[in-house]
Chains A and B, each alone.
Chain A
Amino acid sequence: MVESLVVGRGLSKKFGDFTAVDNIDFDIHPGEAFGFLGPNGAGKSSTMRMIGAVSPPTSGRLSVLGMDPSTEGIKIRGRLGVVPQEDNLDRELSVYENLLTHGRYFHMKRAEIDVRIVDLLEFVQLTERLDDRVDLLSGGMKRRLIIARGLINQPELVILDEPTTGLDPQARHVVWDRLYQLKRDGVTLIITTHYMDEAEQLCDRLVVMDRGRIVAEGSPRELIERYSTRDVLEMRFAADQHRHAMPIIEEVAERTEDLPDRLMIYTHNADEVSAELARRGVHPVSTLIRRSTLEDVFLRLTGRQLIE
């Protein structure tokens, strides 16, 4: 049994009457990429802030790198890397100055920081932008710079809160690629996201959060196997046409989800079901056949979609 880097037991966070995090348990192991998947407001960021030793838990036990955040926060933060959701770079300062300033907070020497900056900018592919003001960088570049900033102290554990929110697809892939590289280098990653594709791509293990609670836990593959079928048919019908077809559909499907704009049909063999429905006179306007994703897991667990 490997010793966990982060352990949460019965962890809760309340703001007045509002319970943001409600009695959650989790274990994060060295070297893994661990995800907190859930919609906005599920309590992911509050959990990240507690792990980041900047927000004291209301109740429960939390251990980060073997230490208690409420008494050894300074030591913990010295060994953590934090990539916040919000862009809090200093726009008026250059790329170099942003990294230097941050490095100094870890009591790193200037010479040491200078060496580190060269490596980091190469890592996030911003070497040419060293002296540019942050103002001049694109959204994707800023995100990469924030990641570089979070790595300045060579952390063994990096917390990334919604690392690709607001980025275009190409910029997202560049970020993912860099995070893979970090994982290969043995850095433990904690990632929050409300993108199921991001969670599937990056996370070895994840928990699904909803309304402050953990509703499922496992690897993306396990979760899909446990909570969904192999295949999904997404059918669109002309206005309310499917009401008549529902009895037939429910007969052949494992499970269905009736969404406002489409009907999801869960099955282990999409081709067979599709042929069977056609034979029995069910004719949707369109049919899309795909594999189950974490989105389906979330829908199954909560009855809602991740991105509403």
Chain B
Amino acid sequence: MTTPRALLIVESEWRYYKRTWWSTVITTWLRPILFLLAMGVGLGTLIDRTADQALGGAGYLAFLAPGLMAASAMQTAITDSSWPVRTGIKWRKHFWAQISTPVTPDDILNGLMIWVFIRLVFVSTAFAVVIWAFGAAPLDRGLAAVPAAVLCGMAFASPMAFLAAWFKEDSTMIALFRFSLIPLFLFSGAFFPIDRLPDLLEPLALFSPVWHGVDLCRSITLGTPLALPLWVEVGYLLAVTVVGWWAAIRRLRKTLNL
């Protein structure tokens, strides 16, 4: 049996990653450690002094850690799906080399999504280890939250791949990062419960996949009840992933098979 062509793309992403892996060490290991130190341990000691039931009764570090796990999966997914698509079309241009072979735009997108999935599993597992080391969650509960974080990441990966293929200019994408993804990160429920948001903004957060990811991860590590039924939260993340995937494939076909 011949290898599916999408896996040949995964193979070449891996070959490329072996050359550039060091640049991801900081985001994979250092970012969670720094965030947990600054926000969880530093800020957390102040917050815990005025101990608030809004955090579900646990310490701030334990509240923050699963939220950051989901938010961090989101960030990894965004960078690992948007830039490769952007550079594949415009800078490294390797997509053009790939489609001159039996590889199709569909294979490229599928391969890339599989690769992002693998990266998310790795990054989220690393995160589970870090929060365990900080004493913010037992290792088994942290690992149990990995699938939720990965799903949350995928719900960003495929729509971002679509946007990256769709935008004409890099600056559009950078603007998107600045003005929407950073607020998404800050107001995702990772740092504080969204019921603290102004009433107008609260329903908006419900549409953000990252909030569902945060809620799922937190309920797994802390045992807090989910805000919505499990099938709604998982179903929503899956639906966003699938729709984004479909849109990204269509867009990539249009761009490459012009």
Contact = CB atoms under 8 A, between A and B. Distances in A.
Contact of B102 (A78, A86, A90, A100): A78
Interface stretch (A27-35, A50-58, A124-132, A245-253): A50-58
Nearest to B12: A101
B97 interface: yes
Contact of A92 (B11, B19, B98, B103): B19
A77 B98 CA distance: 11
Residue with the greatest number of chain A CB neighbours at <10 A, chosen from B5, B96, B101: B101
A93 B16 contact: yes
Given A97-B15, A105-B8, A107-B2, A90 B258 contact: no
Given A93-B15, A97-B15, A104-B12, A82 B100 contact: yes
B104 interface: yes
B96 A102 contact: no
Interface in A43-62: 49, 52, 54-56
Given A105-B5, A106-B102, A54 B19 contact: no
B257 interface: yes
A106 B5 CA distance: 9
A15 interface: yes
Given A56-B257, A88-B94, A93 B101 contact: no
Contacts, number: 69
B104 A74 contact: yes
A84 interface: yes
Interface in B98-140: 98-104
B97 A102 contact: yes
Interface in B73-94: 92-94
Chain B binding surface, main DSSP class: helix
Contact of A88 (B19, B97, B101, B102): B97
Interface string A224-244: 000000000000000000000
Contacts of B257: 54-56
A1 B8 CA distance: 41
Contacts of A75: 102
Contacts of A105: 5, 8, 12, 98, 101-103
A84 B101 contact: no
B3 interface: yes
Interface in B43-66: none
Given A55-B258, A88-B94, A90-B92, A104 B11 contact: yes
Nearest to B92: A90
Contacts of B256: 54
Contacts of B180: none
B20 interface: yes
B103 A107 contact: no
Nearest to A146: B97
B218 to A, nearest CB: 39
Given A104-B8, A104-B11, A90 B101 contact: no
A93 B20 CA distance: 10
Nearest to A46: B258
A195 to B, nearest CB: 23
Contacts of A107: 2-3, 8, 102
A86 B92 CA distance: 11
B169 to A, nearest CB: 19
Contacts of A88: 92-94, 96-97
19 contacts: A15-B258, A54-B99, A54-B256, A55-B257, A55-B258, A74-B102, A77-B101, A80-B100, A84-B96, A87-B93, A88-B93, A88-B96, A88-B97, A90-B92, A92-B20, A104-B12, A106-B101, A106-B102, A149-B97
Given A54-B257, A90-B92, A105-B101, 20 more contacts: A54-B256, A55-B257, A55-B258, A74-B104, A75-B102, A77-B101, A78-B101, A84-B97, A84-B100, A86-B96, A93-B19, A97-B19, A101-B12, A105-B98, A105-B102, A106-B101, A106-B102, A107-B2, A107-B102, A149-B97
Sorted nearest first, the 10 A-B pairs with minimum C-beta distance are A105-B101, A88-B93, A82-B100, A88-B97, A74-B102, A101-B12, A78-B102, A105-B103, A107-B2, A77-B102
